[in-house]
Amino acid sequence: ELHRLDGRGYKAYKGVAGRYAFSGFTLFIDHVQGDPFASPSRLRVRVPREQAGYPAEADANASRRVGLENFLALAFARAIRAAGGRYPELRRGSGKSGLLAIDAPGQEMLQRTAIAVTDAFVEARFVAGLPARGRTILGRAAAEMLGEALPEVVEESLFYSHNDQALLWRFVETAEDADALRAKLDEQGLVAFVADGSILPRRSGVDPRPLPASEAVPFQSPPSLRQSFALPNAGAVSGMGIPAGVTLIVGGGFHGKSTLLNAVERGVYNHRPGDGREKVVTVESAVKIRAEDGRYVAGVDISAFIANLPFGRDTLSFDSANASGSTSQAANISEALSLGARLLLIDEDTAATNFMIRDRRMQALITREKEPITPFIDRVRSLCEEHGVSTILVIGGSGDYFDVADHVVAMEAYHPVERTEEARAIAAADAQAREAPDPLQPPASRVPLPGSVDPSRGRRRIRVQARGPDTILFGEETIDLSAVEQIVDPSQTRAIAHALVHAWENYMDGERTLVEIVDRVMADVENRGLDVLTPYLVADLAAFRRFELAAALNRLRTLEVRR
């Protein structure tokens, strides 16, 4: 068929959409691109489970299955690279001609639409650029690509007998161990755990791979915080348990404080073997909180932290197209709490100082009536004691927090040392009376107005698209997610973009609260998979959390809410 199309106009490719039986697998050509420069065509290959040969233990539970799927996505990507070396001429055409690509994972092992393993089959979804010169079909190249290169890729990557089996089992077991470890945190009264021997630092700010072992200081728990667990595959593991409560990470500049906190904030996800953070786990409902000046804020109750703004501005339902450092940080906390965050993670590097502390001298100069902010230091204990919300705080610049901390961990040349007793003694010798704030009220709930979230506004068709990890184009609006640090994969951003439309189409009715809407979407994904979010099969979506979905909605600059 492809040979017959050779030399014809590109549109003739449309006719090859459909389903083809190969030996050992089925190829589905789901969507054919309109021209060689357009988004590439969408394809799938499906190998019957029996022929693929994976033992039942490889996906005996959901944790293992995600590990296996991530392994297979990487194996498929590797096989594409190898085939590229064998068929270099395929890429000589115009535009995306000859491209084969699968959405392979980064350091985090997330459920993704690129690979699905079920009891019946193993399926890989990928894209292909059907070859052309100008807009003329290169039918022989297409036949070589789909008839020779692709079967080799499938052969090398999707059959158990051809896999690097030792590596496959490492993926499966690493995923299962991480989930098992996270599940044990609660019963031990912990909010996070960092295993001894973990490698926390990354190669660079733009390279998330681990620093090579020769340059990295492996993590070693202080004896006083050491906890041990028995894991299903790795057996006994020991490391630093961070108890529920208020924990400070202190220490001199450049001693590894932020690196530790970053590892903890990513501990809500599992990491692939070799990452160095495979056994760094954090409770699922941990949210990184930071200042984000310029943020859009719609009707958020920030009164717990900020009241009496100039000109009588409302903080029970605070609106701003350009929030300050402190008001944006307050909004971030309020939103996280309403979604059920149980652990807040804050780094002084990205926090607003006036939101975090107000020292004695400043309290003497600027009295309570003139300062709208109740600093976080005056809320952190009641958050913990009355609302069960723990905090881990990196703070090298203020000892005021010694008064309110349960644990103080000092980073000293990348080694954590527990210094709680000394910090307590220092605080006791220099006791400071702080004015007690009013009790903390839970934030009021917010109902999004559907008309304010219309992605078809200004156009006739809904147009929503992710651009990189940090940007969603939503109708005519641009949502900036660059400060939402727990989005770790551009495929999550793509999925969130679709999830916003799904939420708007199905659940925003002017009655449901934002939290209820987010819950419905997450339940749909849980019950029916990421495919529930899109009208057709998409090959490059990854699992995301409720916090990040809400973060995107909350940053949509047209959003209006009713209290």
Interface with Mg ion (CB under 5 A): 258, 349
Q: Do 228 and 252 meet the contact criterion of CB atoms below 8 Å apart?
A: no
Instruction: Please report whether residue 257 would count as binding ligand ADP according to CB under 6 A.
Output: yes
Q: Which residue has the tokens 């000293």?
A: 412
Site track 43-82 with ligand ADP (rule: CB under 6 A), x = hit: ----------------------------------------
CB 258, min distance to Mg ion, A: 3
Per CB under 6 A, contacts with ligand ADP among 382-441 are 411, 414
Q: Counting beta carbons within 10 angstroms of the beta carbon of residue 185, is it exposed (0 to 12), middle (13 to 18) or buried (19 or more)? A: buried
Q: Toward Mg ion, which CB reaches closer, 397 or 442?
A: 397
128: which strand partners?
Answer: 41, 100
At 364, the amino acid letter reads A
Closest CB 327 distance from Mg ion, rounded Å:
23
Phi, psi of 541 (to 5 degrees): -110, 150
User: Shortest approach of Mg ion to residue 251 CB, angstroms?
Assistant: 9
Given candidates 216, 287, 341, 487, which one binds ligand ADP under the rule CB under 6 A?
A: 216
Q: Considering CB distances under 5 to 8 angstroms, the limit depending on partner class, which of ligand ADP, Mg ion, none binds residue 216?
A: ligand ADP
Answer yes or no: are the C-beta atoms of 277 and 199 closer than 8 Å: yes
Residues in contact with ligand ADP, counted by CB under 6 A, come to a total of 16
Residue 288 is a binding residue for ligand ADP (CB under 6 A): no
Q: Is 266 in the site for ligand ADP (CB under 6 A)?
A: no
d(CA 474, CA 497): 8
CA dihedral angle for residue 469, residue 485, residue 343, residue 193, rounded to 10 degrees: 90
Residue 194 CB, nearest approach to ligand ADP (Å): 11
From Mg ion, ligand ADP, none, which one binds at residue 254 (CB under 5 to 8 Å depending on kind)? ligand ADP
Q: Which is nearer to ligand ADP, 258 or 338 (CB)?
A: 258
Q: Please say which residue, 23 or 204, places its beta carbon nearer to ligand ADP.
A: 204
CA gyration radius for the chain?
26
Contact between 259 and ligand ADP by CB under 6 A: the answer reads: yes
Q: Are 510 and 447 in contact (CB under 8 A)?
A: yes
Q: Closer to ligand ADP at the Cβ: 208 or 529?
A: 208
253 lies in the site for ligand ADP, by CB under 6 A: yes
Which residue's CB is nearer to ligand ADP, number 131 or number 256?
256
* Nearest approach, Cβ of residue 196 and ligand ADP (Å): 12
229 DSSP β-pair partners? 237
Task: Tally Cβ neighbours within 10 Å of residue 309.
Answer: 14
Determine, following the binding rule CB under 6 A, whether residue 201 of this chain makes contact with ligand ADP: yes
CB-based burial, 230-247: b 16+ in 10 Å, e otherwise? ebeebeebbbbbbbbbbb
- Closest by CA position to 473, among listed 461, 459, 463: 463
97 counts as binding ligand ADP under rule CB under 6 A: no
Q: Which does 201 bind (CB under 5 to 8 A by kind): ligand ADP, Mg ion, none?
A: ligand ADP
Q: Which is nearer to Mg ion, 76 or 219 (CB)?
A: 219
Residue 334 CB, shortest distance to Mg ion, in Å, is 25
Token pair for residue 60? Answer: 């005996």
Q: Find the part of the chain contacting ligand ADP (CB under 6 A) among 172-180, 246-254, 467-475, 477-485.
A: 246-254
Q: In degrees to the nearest 10, what's the CA dihedral of 228, 547, 463, 318?
A: -160
Binding partner of residue 357 among ligand ADP, Mg ion, none, CB cut-off 5 to 8 Å per kind: none
Verify binding: residue 312, ligand ADP, rule CB under 6 A: no
* Residue 287 interface partner, choices ligand ADP, Mg ion, none, CB cut-off 5-8 Å depending on type: none
- C-beta nearest to Mg ion: residue: 258
Longest Cα–Cα distance of the chain, Å, equals 88
372 makes contact with ligand ADP (CB under 6 A): no
**Dist. CA 56–CA 49, nearest whole Å:** 10
Length of the chain: 563
Question: Which two three-digit tokens encode residue 54?
Answer: 């994976």
- DSSP assigned state of 524: H
Region class of 7: left (phi > 0), else alpha (psi between -120 and 50), else beta: left
Shortest Cβ 192–Mg ion spacing (Å): 17
* Phi, psi (deg, nearest 5) at residue 112: -140, 155
What residue 217 binds from ligand ADP, Mg ion, none (CB within 5 to 8 A, per partner kind)?
ligand ADP
Residues 524-563 that bind ligand ADP (CB under 6 A): none
Site residues (vs ligand ADP, CB under 6 A): 200-201, 211, 215-217, 251, 253-259, 411, 414
